[in-house]
Amino acid sequence: MPEHAIFVPALYTHNETIDNQHKELIKRVNDLYDAIEKGGDAAGEKAKESLEFLTQYTVFHFQAEENLMKQTGYPLFTQHKKIHDDFVITVRGLVDKLNELGPTPEFADLVEKEFTAWIINHIQGTDIKTIEWINNKGGDQMQNLL
């Protein structure tokens, strides 16, 4: 089983709405781990519900980020959105993996690898730079945005 994911201070983008959504994503993935770890008859159903929520919330959250980018004229909107779109395909793939593997530690490890690690890396590598640009509206932030 994976360790719980933690929202560390290095993950702050300094946009309150986006930070709260990132915290919610991390909380919800931990809920999914818990449902799997607890096991029992309801584990399959709970894991399925939890993963469904996580998928929908990921889409909702990406839309919020994309709206912010659009409103502010962020120059690498298309590239950032493509990264999101590709990830949503991965997340939808996890639904199939849950059906295949069941609510097992093996599935939880896959979620850690394909979802949690990706999200944390994306926040630190891409979202922080994007929001930094949005908060400062350009200037010399144009380099190394992604």
Is residue 33 a contact point for Fe ion (CB under 5 A)?
Answer: no
3-class DSSP string for 81-110: HHHHHHHHHHHHHHHHHHHHHCCCHHHHHH
Biggest CA pair distance of the chain = 56
- Minimum distance of Fe ion from residue 78's CB (angstroms): 13
Q: Which residues contact 84 (CB under 8 A, 6 or more apart)?
A: 62, 65, 66
Near Fe ion by CB under 5 A: residue from 35, 103, 107, 127:
127
Segment contacting Fe ion (CB under 5 A): 20-28, 30-38, 63-71, 85-93?
A: 63-71
Distance from C-alpha of 33 to C-alpha of 72, rounded to nearest angstrom: 36
Which phi and psi (to 5°) does residue 14 adopt?
Answer: 75, 30
Q: Taking the complex as a whole, how short is the minimal distance between the CB of residue 29 and Fe ion, in angstroms?
A: 16
Q: Least CB distance from residue 127 to Fe ion, whole Å?
A: 4
Cβ closer to Fe ion: 104 or 124?
A: 124
> Does residue 133 interact with Fe ion by CB under 5 A?
no
Site residues for Fe ion per CB under 5 A: 65, 127
